[in-house]
Amino acid sequence: MAGRRAVPGDESDRDYLTTAQVAQRLGVKPETVYAYVSRGLLTSVRESRQRGSRFAAADVEELAGRTGGRRARPANGSIERIHTRVTLLADDRLYYRGRDVAELTGYRLESVAHWLWRGVDLAEVPPFEAPAGPADLVRRTMSLLPDTARLTDRIRMIVAAAGTADPLRFDLSEPAVVRAGEALLAMIADTLPPCPGAAPPTGPSLAARLWPKLTARAATPERIRLLNAALVLKADHDLAVSTLAARVAAGARADVYAVVSAGLGVFDGRHHGAAIGLAYRFLRDALGPAGGGPTGAVADRLRAGEHLPGLGHLLYAEHDPRADLLLGLLREHAEHDERVARVIRAVDALTREPAARAEVFPNADLALAALAHAMRMRPDAGEAVFAMARSIGWLAHAMEEYRQPGLRYRAIGVYTGTRPPSR
């Protein structure tokens, strides 16, 4: 949940607290305050006059009353008490099971998937394969969709159809979940329709098989490396809202396909996966004179009262490591590709715009949008990359949840409607 920007002068300083003050009042770490914001328990505001977020004192006191201030809350399904060994965000760094994601981009997605699922050594694993019968069923199902269907629409259909074809989907043991996860990822990569004019896949890896579904541009080893890195970087990101939905589904002992479907349902919201499309259009305007270039792209959105897509991030203070890594790889590619160089110049110009104020660093959404523009990918390619990659993380969290008592997330609502007459 993004914080809103305060109108200068509309509130007094004494009615607002800094992040550090909120953390002290609630007896939690600053990271937990950010988590409260992302989960809708607190709303942050920003002022152009100063860096950082502030919080209404009244809202903080209300939350303190509900949580008991410094007193620990009993475990009642509260999302801030989910213990996980999958992903850590700390000091503007991202780690999968203790390994820096910067290191993991050098491995194939298949190996990283097994690392997230099982914590096994990052060795080469055999190519993921989709069973022939279910794959044929999925392709027939795909043929029923209109040509205007987005890639993420098709991925949701693939997941649903694959589930109906798996009679053993209710086996929630770790080996069964891993097998189903491998088959599902292969199904997505293999059954999405190719772009017109695209050549067949150049290799057995998931990234190579997905490439012709995103763009007709030739698949070189360097370009496959870029796509593989993007998939690795988006595989998980702690308890994002879609991951929480997946864990709730797993807590109810939903099968693998239902868990991924739950994540995809939340993913499609404009504040989550669909934000990549906004970043794609923002960068498109920054690339062309028709959109006014970087200055015009920023000015148009500020004039409309909109936030700047792809810039800044709630959970990172100064930089998004995923964006840094992917844009760094693109910069290497830009040395011998003028189109990529043009995209990178536009990204750099956006981050230098004074109107961007505190939101000065690119996030992973903008980095994916840059990859899509640089490689002439479909406009919805970034969302598809995100959805396929994050399916790995959803399954990693589901496997954790399957080891916990079922139905942990039964929250109790605070009723505010009309009370029945007293007896």
d(C-alpha 43, C-alpha 36), whole Å: 8
Q: Is the pTM of this model over 0.85?
A: no
For Cα atoms 13, 16, 18, give the angle at the middle one, nearest 5 degrees: 105
User: What type of residue is 304?
Assistant: A
- The contacts of residue 253 (CB under 8 Å, 6+ apart) are 172, 402, 406
376: left (phi over 0), alpha (psi -120 to 50) or beta: left
Is residue 215's pLDDT more than 60? yes
For residue 395, the model assigns a pLDDT of 98
> What digits encode the pLDDT tens for the residues 84-129?
999 999 989 999 999 999 999 999 999 999 999 999 888 889 999 9
Work out the pLDDT band at 394, boundaries 50, 70, 90. Answer: very high
Is residue 205's pLDDT more than 50? yes
Work out the pLDDT band at 2, boundaries 50, 70, 90. Answer: very low
Taking residues 301-315, what's their average pLDDT?
Answer: 81
For residue 5, the model assigns a pLDDT of 39
Work out the pLDDT band at 306, boundaries 50, 70, 90. Answer: confident
> Mean pLDDT score of the chain, rounded to an integer?
86
Per DSSP, the three-state class of 276 is: helix
The alpha carbon dihedral of 35, 36, 37, 39 has a sign of positive
Is residue 48's pLDDT more than 70? no
Return the CA Rg of the chain: 22
